[in-house]
Amino acid sequence: MIAVTGAAGFIGSNIVWQLNQRGITEILVVDVHPGDAGNANLASLSYARYLTKDAFQQWMADSGNARLMETVYHMGACSSTTETDAAYLTSNNFHYTRDLCLSCLAAGTRFITASSAATYGDGSRGYSDDESRIQELEPLNLYGQSKQDFDLWARAEGHLDRVVSLKYFNVYGPNEWHKGDMRSMVCKGFEQVQATGRVRLFKSDRPEYPDGGQQRDFVYVKDAVDMTMWFADHPEVNGIFNVGSGEANDWNRLIGAIFAAVDCEPDIEYVPMPEHLKGKYQYHTEAEMGKLRGRGYDRPQTVLEDAVADYVRNHLAPGRHLGS
């Protein structure tokens, strides 16, 4: 059996969908509790059993149960970059991940977990997934630190040769409606276009970047999941890896792709950067993908405009979840 935590969430439900595409339905899905809004993401997908987060943690603590698992995709976490409760993030993101990792290692179960590009902070130290340099990173928020804490622990304990920790960059795509303000700008931008015909972006407060010229490594969720599942197919490959497109694109290009997908001319309004984001806003992210490519992953990335068009036309516009 395969387990997916955070299965009702964004990346988790995309993994369940992709497993279904492979004909796999013996899946144990794990999330906070049945009835959450995100469970709409699972409504059209096939799986064998649903456990709450707490029940799954207890279940995995039994080595007999843990040995039933072929692979655990641990995508469950608080992903809010504005969360201020450090104790909650430590418990939910670090301790929970550490405990599941130890259960999987004891049982010989493949463990693939979600780290984050938020661990790279302002990017001044680069975006290399070289494990010998992770202690140099300085996340800008508590969420990023909670992910960094697991990576540091796994390295210190000598586990990185047996587990996979994936630093996801700016992932966007189907099944993110439930994320509220943490939805991608493709999702929020499409809604703005529908409502007003215009998209609002933050002005730049750094002279080297024009308004809307702030850059991100945008990666389509279908590509991100393909990379994630590649590690299950290649158990000989372990460690910390970036999951991104390997290309920095600015917000203006991304928003232009949304307007192109709905056959409209771009109309962008630039608004002041909120005070609470100044000094904590990433102006440039770009995943170094040479490590993953060097280990054998050779599938092409979806071109930004093609990915946005697929998302908008086949999922956002019709309001369609994966599998529906």
Given this model, what pLDDT does residue 81 score? 86
CATH number, domain containing residue 159: 3.40.50.720
**Cα separation of 143 and 241, whole Å?**
18
Given this model, what pLDDT does residue 35 score? 55
How confident is the prediction for the chain on average, in pLDDT? Answer: 94
105 occurs within a structural domain? yes
20-56 in b/e form (b: 16+ CB < 10 A) is beeebeebbbbbeeeeeebbebbeebebeebbebeeb
Residue 52: pLDDT band with limits 50, 70, 90: very high
Mean pLDDT of 45-58: 93
Residue 38: pLDDT band with limits 50, 70, 90: low
Given this model, what pLDDT does residue 71 score? 98
257 occurs within a structural domain? no
Mean pLDDT of 103-118: 96
Residue 319: pLDDT band with limits 50, 70, 90: very high
**Helix (H) / strand (E) containing 71:** strand 71-74
CA 148, 151, 154, 157: dihedral to nearest 10 degrees?
-60
What single letter denotes the amino acid at residue 229?
M
Given this model, what pLDDT does residue 171 score? 97
Express each pLDDT in 279-316 by its tens digit: 778 889 999 999 999 999 999 999 999 999 999 999 99
Express each pLDDT in 5-25 by its tens digit: 999 999 999 999 999 999 999
Q: Which residue has the higher pLDDT, 38 or 10?
A: 10
Given this model, what pLDDT does residue 61 score? 87
147 occurs within a structural domain? yes
Mean pLDDT of 241-251: 97
260 occurs within a structural domain? no
Given this model, what pLDDT does residue 45 score? 96
Express each pLDDT in 165-220 by its tens digit: 999 999 999 999 988 888 999 999 999 999 999 999 999 999 999 999 999 999 99
In the numeric block, which tokens belong to residue 17? 């969908």
Given this model, what pLDDT does residue 305 score? 98
Phi, psi angle pair for 200, to nearest 5°: -100, 135
pLDDT at residue 33 is higher than 70: no
pLDDT at residue 245 is higher than 90: yes
Range with lowest mean pLDDT among 26-40, 42-56, 160-174: 26-40
205 occurs within a structural domain? no
DSSP-derived 3-state class of residue 220 = strand
In this structure, are strands 215-216 and 249-250 parallel, antiparallel, or unpaired?
Answer: antiparallel
Express each pLDDT in 148-172 by its tens digit: 999 999 999 999 999 999 999 999 9
Total structural domains in the chain?
1
- Positions marked catalytic: 143, 179
Express each pLDDT in 264-276 by its tens digit: 999 999 999 988 8
143 occurs within a structural domain? yes
43 occurs within a structural domain? yes
Find the domain containing 138 and state its range: 2-172+218-246+286-301
Given this model, what pLDDT does residue 177 score? 92
35 occurs within a structural domain? yes
In the numeric block, which tokens belong to residue 226? 């393909």
Express each pLDDT in 78-93 by its tens digit: 888 889 999 999 999 9
DSSP state of 46: -
What are the residues whose beta carbons fall under 8 Å from the beta carbon of 69, sequence distance 6 or more?
A: 1, 2, 3, 28, 60, 104, 107, 109
Q: Which residue has the higher pLDDT, 39 or 163?
A: 163
